[in-house]
Chains A and B, each alone.
Chain A
Amino acid sequence: MKPKSSIDSVSDGDCALLKERYRIFFKDRLTEFDMPNAKAYRTVDEKNPSKSVFTLICDHPLQPRMQFAVVLKALRHSGILNLNEFGTLYWTPKAKTQMCFVYDMPLGGRVMKNLDDVISPIPEKEYISKYAPVLVSALSELTHRGITHRAIRPDNLYYMDKAKTMIVFGDMLTSPPAYDQPVEFEVIESAMSMKEGRGHGKLLDDLYSFGVTSLYISIGRRPKINFRSDEELLDSKIRRGSYSTLVGEEKIPLSMIELLKGLLSDNEEQRWNLDALKMWLAGRRLSPMQTRAGKISQRAYIFNGKEYFTTRELASAYANNWSLAIEAVRSEKLLIWLFRGLEDKKLHDAIESAIGAIMVKYPNIKVQNNVLVAKICLMLDGNACIRYKHLSFLPDGLGSLLANAYALNKQEDINIIIEMLQADILAIYSECRINFTYKNSYKVLASFINHPNIGSGLERCLYNLNEFLPCKSKFLEDEYVNEINKLVPAMDKVAKTVDVKTWPMDRHIAAFISEKFGNKANDQVNALRSENLAIATAGLLSTYAILQWSLGPESVHSLAGWLGCHIMPMIDSYHNKERRKAIENEVPKIIKKGYLPELFNYLDNLEERTKDYNGFMVAKSEYVTLKKEIEQFEMEFNKVNYEAEQLGMQVATVSSFCIALFTIVMLLLLRLM
């Protein structure tokens, strides 16, 4: 596989050439096509200059919905703004690397410039016969491909032609799902969630947004809904229902009432699906029901000075007053109200046993309190999102929530997410939702959090939950590494300018590799965790070596040089100093080749290691023997001196005797001769 560069374009001051085809002019802004989190620029298709296109460049740290980009690029539909290309570019004006999307230019502009814009209402007949069928078909097409739009609102609809005969859904990729959707365009469950935690949702969520959008178009403006805040609007949706809240006293065409009632139903089971919508467009009239969800109590439950009659309202109040809720759920008052006021014995028993179970399962009182309130909120409101302290999100929005907390450096949110994952909040959610399956992939999140080593921890959760998130390593701030095969080339590029003394690995890179490269790099990443510097260094080198060996490129001279500055502990792990010296002399030549597997194999040659180890063991045993001999020698030194002295005396005595004897014998012989 040919390794990819981390940047898909060539930037040249005022412009950039994306994938050798689309020239993007940074000085030519097209502000009318700006998205809340992306800036629009004039673009020329160099292969087909007559085609009008424009580019949206993401200008925020939030994660675009990259998982759908490939599918959308391949999709051609008259109800969807065509995506021609996408990729990363070095955005010269802001000096950073960002994702960009090249779309067909909608020549008729936006249907509404913004949500406060006032336009001529589109006649119902025209809407039903001309525009709505195409848009519904587009939603159907997206659904078939497993995509939800999550950005359906009047200011994200465009007229593709100057004659304004074709309306299309606009961009859905530049922001996290439903991130830019105002509360009125979101179903209650999603509106309850923080905008970054809404998740990809489902078709029914898009249909709801489509219903609200249809309302705007049919009256040509924002409906007269005067709420001071989103909370009030949401509260009204919960109390009165979405249709009553949004349509209110508006005069809307009769035929549209049916559509809006069908699409704005707060009960998912009663909300129109695509089939119902298509039937209605085909002329078959249906009679949608607007029902209030939940049982109403005869007696009020008083919390924080306010009266509550339904469990959904109460759950919402608990979530908005977390610290008061902790006291409230621990008192008997709630259980008494459920039993006597609401007369819901089943819910009463379920909550009573849940309280007992949580008290046993979570010994930490702080976590126990938070889990208790979170679970009771989920039990009281059968459709609500997960609410935990000030965070609220739907399960499939957890990844986006975490990614945004990282991107916007919201440390408090990160800490809460850690606490939630440790408490396995998704398991708690699954206990309260019949239609939610607790996947095995969720189980590993708790495991990652509970093992916060390099290559695991929250960073691993981040990449596990966000498949297309680029690596957030501090080294790769100017790169866009969202695929594993881009990592080594990007690090090679980084190595050209980095201070080589810095350790060429961090928690993000390790977690990114662990997540994207799977079990193949497990041993290498595990070695990174070692306290032994030689092993950690071997882990570092082998991690990059295995990536280069598997994914290329053939040579990474700069990265090899950078790693070369950190391999001394590996060399020092050889015991034999002569071998070390030989390695030190040889290594620069191998580094010059830029092929990390060769460098690693040379430094960690099994045969050499075994030879070195065996030699070392022999030397150690020799050392012990010699040491003992010396100690013995030194210990007996005084004794040896004394013995030498005695020996000297013996020598003197024997010598004297010998001389005397010799003399006497000689004298005697002389005398006898």
Chain B
Amino acid sequence: MSRKNKGEGTVLLSRLLLIGILLVLSQFFLPSLIFLFFALIPTILSYITDHSKIRYKWLCVGSLNTAGAMPYLFMLWFNDNSFSSAIELAFDMGHLSIMYGAAFAGFLIYIIVPPAVASYVQASNQKRLVNLKDSLQRLIDVWGEGVTLNEENIKSKKK
């Protein structure tokens, strides 16, 4: 019984310690978090709407959206890392258009690149198939239809 109480006490203590640390850290990171929340809305939306296994859409949009948000995040960190500064940076229309524009660019990459790559691969496969069929036809042209028959076909044809 006593052993149980002792264990519960340790957990409670560690939780209080964690909360304490978080409160200290949040004093430093809260402006960044608030800024990132508004800056990365396209990433959050794409994460919610992407139901694929590997979530390529989220990765494409997120990576460029993050890249678009980074200059302003650096401004926040290296100048006035305050809540008001974070709000100001996040709601500036110029900043938003750059951050969301970068996200849109990521979305465009997601839309355009896969079909383009697939088309290229398909085209090269198609070409190989055509080459194979050409070789086949060349054999027929040189050796006649007989080349297409195996022994059983030849026998049945003779009959």
A residues contacting B by CB (< 8 A) are: 531-532, 575-578, 615-616, 619-620, 622-624, 626-627, 629-630, 633-634, 637, 640-641, 643-645, 647-653, 655-657, 659-661, 663-664, 667-668, 671
Contact = CB atoms under 8 A, between A and B. Distances in A.
Given A623-B136, A659-B67, A648 B116 contact: yes
B63 A616 contact: no
A652 B132 contact: no
Interface stretch (B1-9, B11-19, B31-39, B122-130): B122-130
Given A615-B143, A651-B113, A664-B70, A630 B64 contact: no
A671 B158 contact: no
Nearest to A650: B56
Interface stretch (B20-28, B82-90, B144-152): B144-152
Q: Which 9 A-B pairs have the closest CB atoms?
A: A648-B114, A648-B117, A644-B121, A652-B113, A660-B67, A660-B63, A644-B118, A663-B67, A649-B56
Given A575-B144, A652-B110, A656-B64, A668 B74 contact: yes
A518 to B, nearest CB: 31
B59 interface: yes
B106 interface: yes
B142 A648 contact: no
A655 B122 CA distance: 21
B113 A630 contact: no
B115 interface: yes
Contacts of B113: 648-649, 651-652, 655
Nearest to A629: B132
Interface string B62-92: 0110111011001000100000000000000
Contact residues of B: prevailing secondary structure? helix
A615 B158 CA distance: 21
B136 A626 contact: yes
B40 to A, nearest CB: 12
B142 A653 contact: no
18 contacts: A575-B143, A575-B144, A616-B143, A620-B147, A623-B139, A627-B136, A637-B125, A641-B122, A644-B121, A648-B114, A648-B115, A649-B114, A652-B113, A652-B117, A653-B56, A655-B109, A663-B68, A664-B70
B139 A656 contact: no
A604 to B, nearest CB: 18
A663 B70 contact: yes
Contacts of B128: 633
B101 to A, nearest CB: 13
B13 to A, nearest CB: 39
B63 A656 contact: yes
Contacts of A623: 136, 139-140, 147-148
A531 B132 contact: no
B147 A619 contact: yes
Given A531-B158, A645-B118, A664-B70, A622 B139 contact: yes
Given A623-B148, A626-B136, A627-B136, A644 B60 contact: no
Contacts of B118: 641, 644-645, 647-648
B143 to A, nearest CB: 5
B135 interface: yes
Contact of A619 (B110, B129, B142, B158): B142
B47 to A, nearest CB: 14
B51 interface: no
A605 to B, nearest CB: 18
B143 A619 contact: yes
